[in-house]
Structure 1
C-alpha cells in the first residue's frame, strides 16, 4: 500500500488549483463540498471552470507563481493538462512545502484525490494509486447505487442526538442502542423523510421499548438481478423473512443469512398459511421487536394482497413500509421482448386477474376490455385461459389476435409460447408452471416457441 488513506479538513482552507479547463473543473467539483477556498490560476473568464463555477472559486488569469503561496494553502492541485506546466506547478508546491496532486501524473503526486462517494458526513474514498482509475470509478458507481440517498440525513439525525443518548445510556449499552437505531424503524423513517415519526420512534427506543417494523417487499418476477436496491438492503437487515412460493431460491440466498425464514406461500387451492394468520404472525413478530420482511413475488400492490396486509398492520398500530418490486407483467414482458405499449400497435395496457377470492372467476367486463384494442395482461391466467379467450371473443376481439403465454418469466426455466386468441387454450395447456397471458398485437413480437410449430413437431414425432 503506497498511499495511506487519510482525510484532510479543508473547511475554510485555501486550495491552489492550476488550470481552468475540464480537468481543473472536475477537481473543483470534488473540492467544493469540503468548504475549501479555491484559488484557480491559468483560468480565464471564458474557461470551462469560470463558466460553470466562476461565482464559487477565485479566478486568476495568470499562471501559478511563488506569490500565490503567501495565502498559506493546504493543498495544490496541478490540472492544466499541459505536462510541462503541471510539472512546474508541482515543483513550486514542493518548494513551499505544500502537498501536491497532479492529475494523471502519479510520479508528481504527494497525495492522490480518490473517487468519492458523499452522503453528508459519510465520505467514502476509492483509490488505485493512479494505476487503474477506471476500476475506481466503477466501484464508486456501485457504491452510489448501494448507499441510500438520504443516508447522510440518518447520520446527521443520530449525530444531533448523541448527547441525549450519552446521558440516558451508560457504557456498552450505547453501542447496542446505536446498532439498533441505524438498522431500525427510526432510521427508516428518516430515510423516508418523516422526521417527526423518526423522533417518536427514537424516543421509544431510548426508553427501552424496541419497536418492531414490517417491510412489505416486492421481490420481482424471479431473476435476483431484478431485485431493487432498497429491497436488497431491507432483506439483508431483517430478523425474520416471511416468503411466498413465488420468491426464488436465488433471491432468498441474498437475504440475511441468520434471519429466520418462514414459508407462508399460497398456491391455488393450497394455502400454507391462511391470510388472516399471516397478518397475525406479522403483528406478533413486530411486537416482539423484530425487523420483519414480508417478501412477495412481483409487486406487493399488484395482485399480491399487499394492501390487505398493510391494512392489517395499520389496524394494530404496527409500523410498516412498502417496498415496490418489478411486477410480473413488466419483468416477464421485457424478458420475452414484448413491449406492452408500442406506437401504432397499442396505446394502453390493462392488468387483470383470472382468479378471484376463493378460486372463483373474477367479475370483469371482458367486452369493455375487448373494445379498448390495447394490451391485456392476465395474471394467474393459465388455468382459465380457455374461459378468458371465450369471454374476449364474445366481447368482439378477433380470433387472430396474437397471444403470448409466459411461464416462469425471467428465470432459467422460462418458457414462452406464441399463439392467437383462438388457440390460447391449447397454448396454455402446454404450461404447468405459474404464468401470464399477454393478449394484443404486441404479443406477436414475443420471442419463444410457436404453438403451430410445436404441434407440427408432435405430429412428426
Structure 2
C-alpha cells in the first residue's frame, strides 16, 4: 500500500451509519469541505448538531440499494457485518471505499492526521491498531507545534524566491538545507534570510 493525499473538496461523500465511527469521519471530511450525506435511522448528538447547522445532509432511514451509485467516496460504518457486506457489494463503481470494520470491499484506511497549514502529517496501521496511530499523532502534534504553519509558509516563500534567483544550484541547495534548522521557526531569523536571498536577486520581498 502507498499513502496518497486526496482532494475531496466539493466531492460527494456518503457515510452509511450514524455512530461514533461515522461521526469521526464526518468531521474529517467536513473540515475538507466535502459534500457529505449520512444514511442512518439514528445518529449521534454531534451528527445531529451538524445536520441542524446544515453542514451535512441526512437520510433518516436504513441503507437502500442505489444509495451509493453517485458517490466519490463511501464510508461503510454500520455495526452489522452482514449489512456492511451488502453495502460493499453495491459499491463496485465507487472510487474510494472505507470500511470501518475492516471487512472486504474497502480500498483505503483513513489515517490519524493533523495539519499545520500546508504541512499534513498522517499515520496509519492499516487497521491493525487505530489507537496506536492516534497515539503517534498526539506525539507528533507536540513535536510540531502550531508555529509550524507559518514556518512552512516561510519555507515555501523562500523556495519561490530561490527559483527566481540567479544563484547556482549548489547555493540554492545550501539555503534550502540551512532553513531546515529549527532556529528558523523564529520570525526574525526568517526575515533576515529572506532579505539575504532578496539581495542576491531572489525575487520580490514584502514584510508582514
TM score, norm. by length of structure 2:
0.79
Aligned residues: 197
Give the conservation status (yes or no) of the 8 Å contact 1:15–1:36.
Answer: yes
Report how far residue 24 of structure 1 moved. 0.6
Q: Whole-Å Cα distance in 1 between the matches of residues 88 and 74 of structure 2?
A: 8
Instruction: Indicate whether 1:12 and 2:10 are aligned.
Output: yes
1:206 equivalent in structure 2: 197
CA spacing shift, 1:130–1:203, aligned 2, 3 Å: closer
- Other structure's SS at 1:125 match: strand
Report how far residue 92 of structure 1 moved. 1.5
Report how far residue 131 of structure 1 moved. 1.6
2:24 equivalent in structure 1: 26
1:443 equivalent in structure 2: none
- Other structure's SS at 1:182 match: coil
Q: Whole-Å Cα distance in 2 between the matches of residues 132 and 78 of structure 1?
A: 18
Give the conservation status (yes or no) of the 8 Å contact 2:16–2:76.
Answer: yes
Report how far residue 67 of structure 1 moved. 4.0
1:391 equivalent in structure 2: none
Report how far residue 124 of structure 1 moved. 2.0
After TM superposition, the runs of 4+ consecutive aligned structure 1 residues lying more than 4 A away are none
Report how far residue 25 of structure 1 moved. 0.6
Report how far residue 90 of structure 1 moved. 1.8
Q: Whole-Å Cα distance in 1 between the matches of residues 189 and 172 of structure 2?
A: 18
Q: Whole-Å Cα distance in 2 between the matches of residues 84 and 12 of structure 1?
A: 31
1:131 equivalent in structure 2: 128
- Other structure's SS at 1:128 match: coil
Instruction: Indicate whether 1:57 and 2:48 are aligned.
Output: no
Instruction: Indicate whether 1:113 and 2:117 are aligned.
Output: no
TM score, norm. by length of structure 1:
0.39
Q: Which has the larger radius of gyration?
A: 1
Report how far residue 164 of structure 1 moved. 2.4
Report how far residue 113 of structure 1 moved. 0.9
CA spacing shift, 1:109–1:67, aligned 2, 3 Å: closer
2:34 equivalent in structure 1: 36
The CA RMSD over aligned residues, in Å, is 2.7
Unaligned runs of 5+ in 2: 201-208
CA spacing shift, 1:165–1:64, aligned 2, 3 Å: farther
Give the conservation status (yes or no) of the 8 Å contact 1:20–1:49.
Answer: no
- Other structure's SS at 1:39 match: strand
- Other structure's SS at 2:133 match: helix
Report how far residue 145 of structure 1 moved. 1.5
2:98 equivalent in structure 1: 101
CA spacing shift, 1:68–1:161, aligned 2, 3 Å: farther
- Other structure's SS at 1:16 match: strand
